Amino acid sequence: MKRKKREMKPRRVAIVTSIHPDFDARIWKHARILAANGVGVDLICPWQVKDREEIDGVTLHPFPMATSRAKRLFQVPLRVLPRLRAVLAQVDIVHFHDIDLLPWMAFVSLVKPVVYDVHENYAHEMLVREWVPVVLRRPLYHAVHWGQFLLSMVVRNIVLVAPSQKPDFSNPRFRQTYIYNYASVALLDGVADNHDSREDAVVFIGSQHINNGSLLLLDIAEKMAEKVPGVKLLATDRFSSTAFRNHVTSEIKKRGLQNTLELIPNVKPHELMAVLNRATIGISPNLRVPQQIMGIHTKIFEYMAAALPVVVSDLPHQVGVVEATGAGILAQPEDINSFVSAIASLVADRGRAVQLGRNGQQGFKDSYCYESQAQALLAFYDQILAA
């Protein structure tokens, strides 16, 4: 008689992040999905919460956020490792989310199973980050690429968020799975069913930096003021640096866009739907650069959850989502008018806009909500513990 396979689901998991802000969407979704499936969670994070406070079944272990990029090198291990050590004996797996923790987690992996959650194509990021001097970008690319590869060989267990990351972890030693950065199904609870009666408004909820299309948004807003006057563009006040924010705000004044482009306060993930409920169209003008081409952008799924028709750059992954669901219109980031024309067509035909939004929301429910990946994550933990 065949023996029944032993249940390997972890009793408790420590999730560790060094830089993600309070209730960051990816981190909080990960913690809550485990708790909802009966796994105890200790979340070690730089958040402004009470020590050992429990929220939604997640026990929080906060520490002060690093005060600068330079100080992070020594502040993070001094603040993170004591908190991890306090719970290490009680957890079955340590699952961390930031590359700056990788050297320390390689050591932890010698005594406890560790999972490295690779959020971005970090080596490629070195080629486009504004704070990296141009002369250092290529050397840093190679340093990050090989440093990540060698330390990850020690950790072994890898979570990827996009197929474009696969070449960086192409070795049989790695155990890996994909957990895509989809939006949480909990967003659906806050959707206001008044799309027919809302005032026309376009919303952008991404982080503000050049490759994400922030300067392109300025051009789009300027053209919108001519072609669809009275339609507002709402954009999150979340910038990569104070200098870049100052540049964008000065451009808004210089171009006379104060009545067209409104910067709205950044909100916590569970408050996001209050922002999306103000809009009738979601926009994502990502530039056609390697960093953006290789990524999967969460805001697309958040727009879909809110039943907003999307106007997005025709990058490979976004093409796949829009064509599979009928959620909106593709535009070319090299062509400002392609975005403005798409917006104008949706403003002129509210019935079509509402239908595209409904298509997207149904596609989100069927295929693109984060919770649909719970079993894949638990199966990966099972594989790790069984090994």
Query: Is residue 144 within 8 Å of residue 126, measured between CB atoms?
Result: yes
Check residues 132 and 377 and name the one with the higher pLDDT: 377
Check residues 82 and 121 and name the one with the higher pLDDT: 82
State yes or no: pLDDT of 75 exceeds 70. yes
CA distance 176 to 122: 17
Which tokens is 98 given?
Answer: 């930031």
Q: Taking Cα atoms as reference points, which of 70, 368, 26 lies closest to residue 207?
A: 26
Q: What torsion do the CA atoms of 154, 159, 163, 164 make, to the nearest 10 degrees? A: -50
Q: 229-261 burial by CB neighbour count: b if 16+ within 10 A, else e? A: eebbbbbbebbbeeebbebbeebbeeeebeebb
Query: Residue 162's pLDDT band (boundaries 50, 70, 90)?
Result: confident
DSSP assignment letter at 4 = P
Mean pLDDT for 165-178 is: 93
pLDDT digits (tens, 9 = 90+) for 254-300: 999 999 999 999 887 778 999 999 999 999 999 998 878 877 888 99
DSSP assignment of 64-95, as one string? Answer: PPPSSHHHHHHHHHHHHHHHHHHHHTT-SEEE
DSSP assignment of 188-251, as one string? Answer: GGG--S-TTTSPPEEEE-S-B-GGGTHHHHHHHHHHHHHHSTT-EEEEE--BS-HHHHHHHHHH
State yes or no: pLDDT of 125 exceeds 90. no
Look at residue 11 in the predicted model and tell me its pLDDT. Answer: 93
Q: What torsion do the CA atoms of 293, 295, 298, 304 make, to the nearest 10 degrees? A: 40
Mean pLDDT for 247-260 is: 96
pLDDT digits (tens, 9 = 90+) for 183-215: 889 899 999 999 989 999 999 999 899 989 999
Report CA-CA distances (Å) from 370 to 54, 161, 192.
22, 12, 21
- pTM comes to 0.80
